[in-house]
Structure 1
Amino acid sequence: MSEMAALRPQVGASSMQAVLTSVQQSTDELEQLQPALGLLAHPALTSRAQELFGDCYNVGAQNADSDNACIAARLPSTLLQSAVSLQSIGLLCAAAGKMNALRKPMAHNRLCDYAGQFAVDSVPESAQIRESFLTVRSIALPVYQRLLRDGHSHPNCVHQVLLHLLAWKSDSLWTRQQAQRLLWQGGVLGENGVAELELLDKEMAERQIAWPSLWSLLAIAGFLARYPAGPMFID
């Protein structure tokens, strides 16, 4: 353990556990969605993934006073060998570690900015990861947090956010049109909305339309929705 980490005994398991619990809850919510959607198929998460997120958090916390390039260089090598979806979450955990160690209020704008900077200095897919953070911040989070404020359940929030992502970011024009049609009818909050979403999911599968990173976008959104927006730019 570094001297800096030793000087911060209060930045430890409790702070890290809160972050990891938020990650776990956001991924569990996707696993427990009913109906189960083919659109959200993804490789199974292992216990090692949770350990990796903890390792990333510790790198951010123990090197918080270092520049971002230094933190990126010390991230676990296994992070670079993981799927892009896991890399994105790991980078956010490293950002959370840095922010907790520096006593900065946890906020999703800062989390995304720090994680994006770490990505530039550490992962080949940095442009894709930064774009995913932008998509979550501009489309998914405003919808997610508005629905939470209105008292909707997390499953309804996730389904409705999924439709918004399909409506505005899908590569398929047909998919965008179908998702926009459902949203005009209220989305999953409208009459037979969940059934309509399930039908769209099946029709997309029949047309061989997929979006591999959709699960990741929703997992990131679910994690970040647990924190306020905070300032638009980091210091």
Structure 2
Amino acid sequence: MNMIYGQPYSRLWRASQDKAQQTIGAAAIADYVNRALLTEVMLTPKPGLVDARNCGAHYDMDINTFLASARAIAPWWPRFLEMGHESAGIAACLSLPLVRPIGLQCEQAMLQATHGINTHKGAIFSFGLLCFAAGRLLTNGFDLTRESMCAEVAGICSGLVDRELRGTLEAGTAGERAFRRFGFPGARGEAASGFATVRTTALPVYAGLRFDGVSEEVALLQALLHLLAVNDDTNLVSRGGLAGLGYVRTYATKLLQAGGALAPDGAAKMVAFDDALIRRHLSPGGTADLLGLTWFIAQFPAVHEDARI
């Protein structure tokens, strides 16, 4: 029997295994999250971000910091799934308070491993919600598809932006400050939308290129450029204001017009983009989370027959 911190963890496994049409069961989901985190951090070169080439626009973390963080939080993904199983009978819009304590404990595990450095806080929020949603869906007899998981997260986070951003008296985090000043809802808004930016921008690009035989690395870099061209990244706004956000968007758009990562000199241009953001101390950390989510969501079947959708 699988155990999590002394708790039996076989019920959810049986629930997924008993479903004859279930193509992806609970046992695979935590592994997908771990692989998504590692795939994102190892992807190189990523403009302004930690990767195998350098520390990006950061001075307090490197790739080893991220690897240590990923190891520390890995045991928590099954717990998010189990809590989804336990809350399956509760309406989605009322279930968020049940999973939040696990998210906070997962963050503490991260901070202990990184000596107080925030490497995966945004990822814990988003991937924790997806695991929680998957546990609910499996228990209630639904297939895990890209659409069903994103829709469940949207239901769980219904009203979240109004409650926690519009109703915030003091802006404590970078995301809260960005919303107060510019109206950017950040990770909360992305989750409440069912990860709309991932579904409408990055996922079609990544899945389509993979369908056409393009390597995973190049497909992810191309998807990253598409995200950088449109995402209201609150990390960029925190570091460089609207000017910094605009600089990254314009740079990414120009690269895409020239073929992006698919161009013959695409790798060299990504290196130059990386160097440019490092000089300006710009790091699109929120977009990095969306890229990891893109890879994760792509592992699940789409309702549409066309695998590129």
Shorter-chain TM-score bucket reads 0.7 to 0.9
Q: CA deviation at 1:223?
A: 0.3
TM-score of the two chains, using structure 2 as the length reference:
0.65
Residues 154 and 193 in structure 2, CA contact (< 8 A), matched pair in contact too = no
Deviates more, 1:193-202 or 1:62-71: 62-71
Q: Which runs of 5+ in 2 are unaligned?
A: 1-8, 18-23, 51-55, 108-120, 165-186, 233-241, 305-309
Number of corresponding residues: 228
Structure 2 Cα separation of the partners of residues 174 and 75 of structure 1:
37
Deviates more, 1:118-127 or 1:149-158: 118-127
Residues 39 and 214 in structure 1, CA contact (< 8 A), matched pair in contact too = no
Judged with a 3 Å threshold, the aligned counterparts in structure 2 of structure 1 residues 62 and 122 are, in CA distance, closer, same or farther, namely: farther
Q: CA deviation at 1:76?
A: 4.9
Equivalent residue number for residue 186 of structure 1:
259
Judged with a 3 Å threshold, the aligned counterparts in structure 2 of structure 1 residues 96 and 132 are, in CA distance, closer, same or farther, namely: closer
Partner of residue 272 from structure 2, selected from 187, 199, 202: 199
Structure 1 Cα separation of the partners of residues 209 and 13 of structure 2:
37
Residues 150 and 195 in structure 2, CA contact (< 8 A), matched pair in contact too = yes
Q: Is residue 138 of structure 1 aligned with residue 148 of structure 2?
A: no
Judged with a 3 Å threshold, the aligned counterparts in structure 2 of structure 1 residues 107 and 148 are, in CA distance, closer, same or farther, namely: same
Matches within 5 A, 1:59-208: 59-80=83-104, 82=107, 83-120=121-158, 124=164, 126-127=188-189, 129-130=191-192, 133-169=195-231, 172-208=245-281
Structure 2 Cα separation of the partners of residues 216 and 7 of structure 1:
30
Q: Which runs of 5+ in 1 are unaligned?
A: none
Name the Cα RMSD after superposition. Answer: 3.0
Judged with a 3 Å threshold, the aligned counterparts in structure 2 of structure 1 residues 98 and 187 are, in CA distance, closer, same or farther, namely: same
TM-score of the two chains, using structure 1 as the length reference:
0.83
Q: CA deviation at 1:74?
A: 2.1
Deviates more, 1:121-130 or 1:150-159: 121-130
Q: CA deviation at 1:77?
A: 0.6
How much identity, in percent, do the aligned residues show? Answer: 25
Deviates more, 1:186-195 or 1:99-108: 99-108
Q: Is residue 10 of structure 1 aligned with residue 14 of structure 2?
A: yes
